[in-house]
Amino acid sequence: MNLLIAVALQLGGMPVPLGGGAKLVDGMVGIIRDHGGEFHTDRHVDLVEVKAGSTVGVRARGELFPARKAVICNVTPQQLYLQLLEKTVVPERAAQKARRFRFGRGDMQIHVALSEPPKWPGDAERLCRTAMVHVTAGLDGVSRAVNEAERGLLPAEPTIVVGQPTAVDSSRSPQGAWILWIQLQELPNSPRGDAAGKLETDGAWSETLRERFADRIMARLCAIIPNLESAMRKRFVISPADLARTNINLVGGDPYAGSCAPDQFFIWRPLPGMPRHRTSIKKLYHIGASTHPGPGLHGASGLMVAKELLGTRGYRRLSEH
């Protein structure tokens, strides 16, 4: 997974929307609405309705939203085959494979507002132009942190991914100020202990545990970046449990909506023997991070389904439809 990401970034770069990630969503919503589309948010879908072997629409709070051409579900396999569809329409093979679908480690994010750019050690100017800096205890440290997380422990020294959005988009913060987007991907979904032996755990990400673990991370960074503590104006921490509550696809705080281990990737995603986005039920498609080609802000799975529904292998302007 890491090798694929590295190759993709090297070959294609990493575009970012000016003004923040919300601008990308706003832009897509605008395009869809300009072409007659509608959005219904904050409505939980209860059922994907199937009649005579064909999908007819979705039900939300008792109201049926009929499908003109197809229903496309951006959910996990377990949601699709075990919750959204009635048991009578789901092939037993699909249900069994959905039950075996695994989710990955938890993810924490720490958003920090600074009054000035961080003074990184060494070549500070170059590092302040770097969009993402990884702080690790070395290769052995990465291995140790992953091992600790897999055993349900809070890593003593997890890898700290420090994103610097202001480095590539100055509009993200006021002039002279800076923001950091910190990510920790080597965390247990349910912490049962602390590898450092300092934090009490009971298997859940409480607010207290979230903030105290974030304190550990910030202390490490403050030891590296001399002006970090004095420049810090505010921080906002999101635990794996917070992620799971925010997005139903991020089970256990897994930001990738499913483990990206080799047996759940490439032609084995979302499920072995079921790599395509078209399901066995007519007019029902499965897309999203849980499906091929995996997680990321690329929209590739949706693009593949759109091409199939439009009957084209290439790209067409929206105005042609």
Last-in-domain residue among 198, 215, 246? 246
Please say whether the beta carbons of 277 and 285 come within 8 A. yes
The reply to whether 169 and 218 lie within a common domain is yes
Rounded-to-10 torsion of CA 100, 101, 105, 106: -110
**pLDDT(319) > 50:** no
* Residue 9 within a domain: no
* Residue 167 within a domain: yes
The reply to whether 216 and 309 lie within a common domain is no
The reply to whether 78 and 165 lie within a common domain is no
DSSP 3-state assignment of 7?
helix
Condensed to tens digits (0 to 9), the pLDDT of residues 203-248 reads: 999 999 999 999 999 999 999 999 999 999 999 999 999 999 999 9
The reply to whether 280 and 300 lie within a common domain is yes
The reply to whether 28 and 55 lie within a common domain is yes
Condensed to tens digits (0 to 9), the pLDDT of residues 299-310 reads: 899 999 999 999
The reply to whether 147 and 175 lie within a common domain is yes
pTM for the predicted model, two decimal places: 0.89
* Residue 2 within a domain: no
Domain count for the chain, please give it.
Answer: 2
**CATH number of 262's domain:** 3.50.50.60
The reply to whether 227 and 285 lie within a common domain is no
- Omega into 275 within 30° of 0, i.e. cis? no
Element (H, E) at 233: strand 232-238
What is the spatial distance between Cα 50 and Cα 90, in angstroms, rounded to a whole number?
Answer: 10
The reply to whether 242 and 112 lie within a common domain is yes
Last-in-domain residue among 228, 246, 264? 246
* Residue 232 within a domain: yes
| Residues spanned by the domain of 164 | 106-246
Condensed to tens digits (0 to 9), the pLDDT of residues 44-91 reads: 999 999 999 999 999 999 999 999 999 999 999 999 999 999 999 999
